[in-house]
Amino acid sequence: MPRLETEERRRKGRLRLPRVVRVRPSQPGQAEFDEILPTRNAALNSVYFVSKHLGYKEGMRLFITFPYLEDPGAINQESLGKVVRVDELDHGRRGIAVQILMPLLLGGQETIR
């Protein structure tokens, strides 16, 4: 279903350069998945990516690592995010918009993965 044009609510623009994001559910008992995907666009506190996984639901909480680097010794900060929109796309794909709520801290230090 196409979205109607609405007033732009973002304070900052979107980065349309693909970056890599890692997402997985934060609540036990939800669909188990751990995806590493390129973003379609991103802002300081949100990301949009495309997935074929059917487990994403609006309001779902996720652990999100953005940007995600696979380099040895890379420090990846994990954050808590919430799915704010799921767009049905072609060929079984879905566009997932995630709001990044807050970084996760362990023992007063950022999460390192």
What does the pLDDT read at residue 2?
54
30 secondary structure, DSSP code: S
What does the pLDDT read at residue 105?
73
What does the pLDDT read at residue 113?
45
**Residue closest to 74 by CA, chosen among 36, 32, 34, 44:** 36
- In Å, what is the CA distance from 37 to each residue of 53, 75, 105? 11, 18, 23
Report pLDDT digits (tens) over 39-93.
999 988 999 999 999 999 999 999 999 999 988 888 898 999 999 999 999 999 9
Mean pLDDT of 22-46: 90
What does the pLDDT read at residue 26?
92
pTM of the entire predicted model: 0.78
Mean pLDDT of 88-99: 96
Q: Which domains does the chain have, with CATH numbers?
A: 20-110 (2.30.110)
